[in-house]
Amino acid sequence: MKRLIAGVAATMLLACQTSPSEKGTAATFSTEGKQVIAVTTADSTDLRLTVNDTLSFTDMAQPVESQVLVFVDPGKEFQHYEGIGAALTDASAETFYKLPKAAQDEFLKAHFDKQNGIGYNFARTNINSCDFSSDMYTYVQDGDKELKTFDIAHDKKFKLPFIKASIAAAGGKLNLFASPWSPPAFMKDNNDMLKGGKLKPEFYNSWAMYYTKFIKAYEAEGVPVWGISIQNEPMATQRWESCIYTAEEERDFLKNHLGPTMEKEGLKDKKIIVWDHNRDLIYQRAQTYFSDAAASKYIWGIGFHWYEDWSGGLPMYDNIRRVHESFPDKHIFFTEGCAESFDSTRYKAWVLGEEYGRSMINDFNNGMVGFTDWNILLDETGGPNHVQNFCFAPVHADTRTGQLIYTNAYYYIGHFSKFIQPGAKRVAAAASRSQLLTTAFRNPDGKLVVIVMNQSDKKTPYHLWINGKAAETVALPHSITTLLL
């Protein structure tokens, strides 16, 4: 892994240099004199974020139907790009500190280093315990409505040091947002952090203040907090920590309690994300939040997960587009996704990475501005997890041997996070064959990043076509390629 990433890093130093004449030319793009660097990850090969081709453009006027093409129009710009990251949970932190120092250093570089890793710039963490915690906990003593006992001592053992190490590895800046899975049991109508239940109205103000105390406590420890989501999966009654809000309940909690409390406590600059659940109900939730001006003014964006296929259906990618079309001023941000049902015999299963690639391409094309994976690291059991809800992470640690295990999901995510720069604009991209999925971005320096995923077992020659010029290459079976120019 280190050798392959280093090779890409050297290439990127050349590919991303901007000449003075190219600065400030976002409105125009020319292929004249440009070469295309192809970076590929492919099944049944050793290619893992590996530079495997350099392409040149030639004239091509009208393509014909027998040709396979990926069309890119840099002149058609859409939403901006915020970034990509993963969740720094209790489980990830505990696993990290079971590794030897060399493996810890490798892990941090692999995820957060801009040149020698995949350059994550976002992170998520949990407020109070979640399923991926070894134990259940809150930051206050039972019954403390006034929050006089609020204390984040629990997080100082593993999670806060892990977050600080990640920030340092990212060059000193990491956009961290935090999400609660459940308020303390005494604040809920079922008197239990688990199995759903609702926040009692008499605790609305106390719970709103809880977020502000968390933010201030973390920042007092030297960990800046970029934002919060109101509730993880507010329509899911889980056997782990969970809490239910209808759209109206979440809206009203925000506009009458959380939003005003954040402002009063001097935290108006913190981003607030609503929903934080699956694509299936996202339009109804968005309509409810954003149609209320008093609530909408507090909302930076709407978060979503990819688990709506639990019912046996397919991912509802078009629902993201519907929200983007109707509420274009609101950010749409992927806040969680993972491959469920952990099985250590499937570390090399190629579908793990393809799930990421397929979702990221479709969601970016439909208006998503950023992506946050679920646990950044898990152990050889798919945990730790106090309710045995074991899952995959892109990288696992075998804590018995101290070794890191990279699934292909790590590389698939890297094809986006390593090359697209914050502030980039998505541009028009379309493929002429269904086995190829594609999206494209124009970075602030004017360079193009085109991602092409071949989800079939067909070796597919194709041309990258831009304004009457074309560069020929091949999409290997079950591969993803980032084209840089």
Question: Which position among 94, 241, 308, 336 bears the catalytic label?
Answer: 336
- Over the range 425-461, which residues count as b (16 or more CB within 10 Å of their CB) and which as e? bbbebebeeebbbbbbbbbebbbbbbbbbbbeeeebe
* Whether residue 462 has pLDDT greater than 60: yes
28 confidence band (pLDDT: 50, 70, 90): confident
| Tokens (6 digits) for 451 | 């991602």
Comparing 4-13, 71-80, 332-341, the range with the smallest average pLDDT is 4-13
What mean pLDDT value characterizes the chain?
95
1 confidence band (pLDDT: 50, 70, 90): low
Assess whether 472 carries a catalytic annotation.
no
* Whether residue 321 has pLDDT greater than 50: yes
pLDDT of residue 129: 98
Stretch 255-277: mean pLDDT, rounded?
98
pLDDT of residue 373: 98
pTM of the model: 0.95
Of residues 25 and 8, more confidently modeled: 8
* Whether residue 4 has pLDDT greater than 80: no
Report which of 410, 298, 308 is spatially closest to residue 352, judged by C-alpha positions.
410
In tens, the pLDDT along 394-415 reads 999 999 999 999 999 999 999 9
Cα pseudo-dihedral 271, 274, 277, 282, rounded to 10: -130
| Tokens (6 digits) for 397 | 């640690």
The alpha-helical segments, DSSP class H, found in 291-346 are 293-296, 317-326
Question: Which position among 106, 233, 354, 355 bears the catalytic label?
Answer: 233
What is the distance between the alpha carbons of residues 306 and 391, in angstroms, rounded to a whole number?
Answer: 14
What is the distance between the alpha carbons of residues 146 and 207, in angstroms, rounded to a whole number?
Answer: 10
Strand runs labelled E in 18-165 = 35-42, 50-56, 58-59, 69-80, 83-87, 122-127
In tens, the pLDDT along 167-219 reads 999 999 999 999 999 999 999 999 999 999 999 999 999 999 999 999 999 99
User: Hey, which residues does 430 pair with through a beta bridge?
Assistant: 71
Secondary-structure percent of the chain, ordered helix, strand, coil, rounded to 5: 30, 25, 40
pLDDT of residue 11: 55
Report which of 104, 224, 144, 234 is spatially closest to residue 180, judged by C-alpha positions.
234
- Percentage of the chain beyond pLDDT 90 is 94
Report which of 230, 222, 202 is spatially closest to residue 146, judged by C-alpha positions.
202
In tens, the pLDDT along 37-90 reads 999 999 999 999 999 999 999 999 999 999 999 999 999 999 999 999 999 999
Count of CB atoms situated within 10 Å of the CB of 248? 12
Measured CA angle at 148 (ends 145, 149), to 5 deg: 100
* Whether residue 25 has pLDDT greater than 90: no
Assess whether 336 carries a catalytic annotation.
yes
- Give the up-direction half-sphere exposure of residue 412: CA atoms within 13 A in the CB hemisphere: 29
* Whether residue 22 has pLDDT greater than 80: no
Q: How far apart are the first and last CA of the chain?
A: 24
In this structure, are residues 133 and 124 in contact, taking their beta carbons and an 8 Å threshold?
Answer: no
Return the H-helix or E-strand segment holding 223.
Answer: none
pLDDT of residue 27: 58
| Tokens (6 digits) for 168 | 């340092």
| Tokens (6 digits) for 239 | 């056997």
Strand runs labelled E in 116-270 = 122-127, 175-180, 227-229
Give the position of tokens 């250093």. 105
What is the distance between the alpha carbons of residues 261 and 208, in angstroms, rounded to a whole number?
Answer: 6
Measured CA angle at 418 (ends 58, 448), to 5 deg: 30
Stretch 127-149: mean pLDDT, rounded?
98
| Tokens (6 digits) for 221 | 């420890």
What is the distance between the alpha carbons of residues 105 and 222, in angstroms, rounded to a whole number?
Answer: 21
Backbone phi, psi, residue 226, to 5°: -75, -35
